[in-house]
Structures are given as C-alpha cells and as structure tokens.
C-alpha cells in the first residue's frame, strides 16, 4: 500500500508508530517501499527513544507527538541529531549508513540533515508556542487538530471555529519565525482552504480511510 501511494504521486507518507499497527521491526520494509516510489518517509514516533532507531533505519523526518513545552521540543531535537546539535546514539552499522559501507565521516556529516516535526496538539502547547518556536532545530510545527479539539472540550469536532482560530494563530506565529506549519485534513476542500491559509505540510487522511471511501464509492456506483 505504501509503494502504491508513492506511485500515485504523493510527496510523503507518515509511517505511524503512535496509532498505526506498525513497529520498529517492520519499519525498514515500509521505508524501502517509500524509497522505491520516490516518496519521503516521515516516521511519527510514540516515544523519544524511537527517534534514533527510526533514523537509523532510514527515516528522513521524524514527527514527535504531544509537544507541550520548549523542554519537550529540545529533548526531541537532541534525540534526533548527533553532537554538537544533539545526543543521538552513535552507530554506523545501520541501514542509514548503508550498513557501514558508507564513508564514516560523510555519514555523520549528512546524518543531521533531517527534519524534526514538533506536533503541538493541546492547550499547553498553544500556550507555550512562543518558547517552542525558539528551540533551535525545530523545523516544522504540526498542529494536531483531533487532540486539540479534545483539549478544548470539543472532542473530534476539528472544524469548530475554536480549532480553526487556533490554527490561524499558529500560522501567524510560525510565519513570523519562518517555520512551516502542518496539520491533518480529511477532505480536498479543507486541504485547499488550509493551503490558502498558509499550511505547507498537509497530511491527508489515513490509508485505511482512503481505501474505505474509495471502496464504498465503487460499491455504491455499481447497480
């Protein structure tokens, strides 16, 4: 499924270790499918101790959920990069270093050229956004609208004005710092609207939801 999505022309896919039925053991095959179809693999981790392992396997971006403070953002950045920018565990016998066949100096030099996506998804994160944006190495802010809707007291109501207003405020603050914004959308209409608002990193739905909707549409169309 990952390979097919890439061949359809998608720019990236989130390989989800938080909610999806994936783990470190099958991540390598999923990343290989991304590479074959020239689609960027983004790994959403469950915990910081998975960040280095995802990068070792070949992820080029990591997305860290539930970032509510500058300290949490800093810890994620440090886990994702080698010194002097971080304290990621050092090993060159990994897939990202071509299983030790890559030039050692070159690997450690280019390994820090990855993308760290801080997922802000609660009132705490919104309140601390200014300080989170000051953390060196945070490349993208992703607003998790579902968890945010829960935090605001409207669980699942991601199109409520309160949620959309929060997204607009995040966009305003991030634009002032030159940091791209991402969020989750479930329709083409919402994607286009949010793109016009200034969202750069548009995450469209989930593979099983896309498959379900397509299957239902086909079945309802056949008489």
Q: Rounded distance, CA 87 to CA 52, Å?
A: 10
Q: Using the 8-state DSSP alphabet, how is residue 64 labeled?
A: E
Tell me whether residue 19 is one of the annotated catalytic residues. Answer: yes
Backbone CA torsion sign across 21, 30, 51, 184:
negative
Q: Which of 19, 66, 99, 200 is catalytic?
A: 19
Q: List strands edge to edge, sheet with 201-204.
A: 12-16, 40-44, 61-64, 115-120, 140-143, 181-185, 201-204
The conformation of residue 94, written as its DSSP 8-state character, comes to S
Rounded Cα gap, residues 98 and 25, in angstroms: 17
Distance CA 89, CA 59 (A): 15
* Helix boundaries (H) for the chain: 2-7, 24-36, 51-57, 70-80, 104-110, 123-127, 129-132, 145-151, 161-177, 188-197, 207-221
CA–CA distance, 177 with 219 (Å, rounded to integer): 48
Cα 3 → chain centroid: 18
- Tell me which residues are annotated as active site: 19
């Amino acid at each position: 499924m990952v390979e097919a999505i890439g061949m359809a022309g998608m720019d990236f896919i989130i390989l989800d270790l938080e909610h999806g039925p994936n783990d470190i053991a099958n991540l390598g095959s999923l990343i290989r499918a991304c590479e074959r179809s020239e689609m960027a693999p983004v790994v959403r981790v469950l915990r910081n101790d998975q960040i280095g392992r995802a990068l070792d396997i070949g992820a080029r971006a990591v997305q860290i959920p539930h970032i509510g403070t500058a300290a949490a953002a800093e810890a994620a950045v440090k886990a994702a990069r080698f010194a002097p920018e971080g304290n990621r565990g050092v090993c060159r016998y990994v897939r990202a270093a071509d299983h030790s066949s890559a030039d050692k100096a070159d690997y450690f030099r280019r390994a820090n050229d990855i993308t760290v996506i801080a997922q802000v998804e609660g009132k705490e994160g919104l309140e601390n956004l200014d300080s989170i944006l000051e953390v060196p190495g945070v490349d993208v802010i992703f607003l998790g609208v579902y968890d945010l809707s829960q935090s605001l007291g409207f669980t699942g109501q991601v199109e409520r004005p309160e949620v959309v207003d929060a997204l607009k405020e995040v966009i305003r603050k991030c634009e002032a710092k030159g940091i791209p914004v991402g969020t989750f959308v479930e329709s083409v209409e919402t994607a286009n609207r949010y793109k016009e608002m200034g969202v750069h990193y548009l995450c469209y739905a989930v593979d099983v939801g896309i498959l379900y909707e397509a299957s239902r549409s086909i079945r309802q169309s056949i008489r």
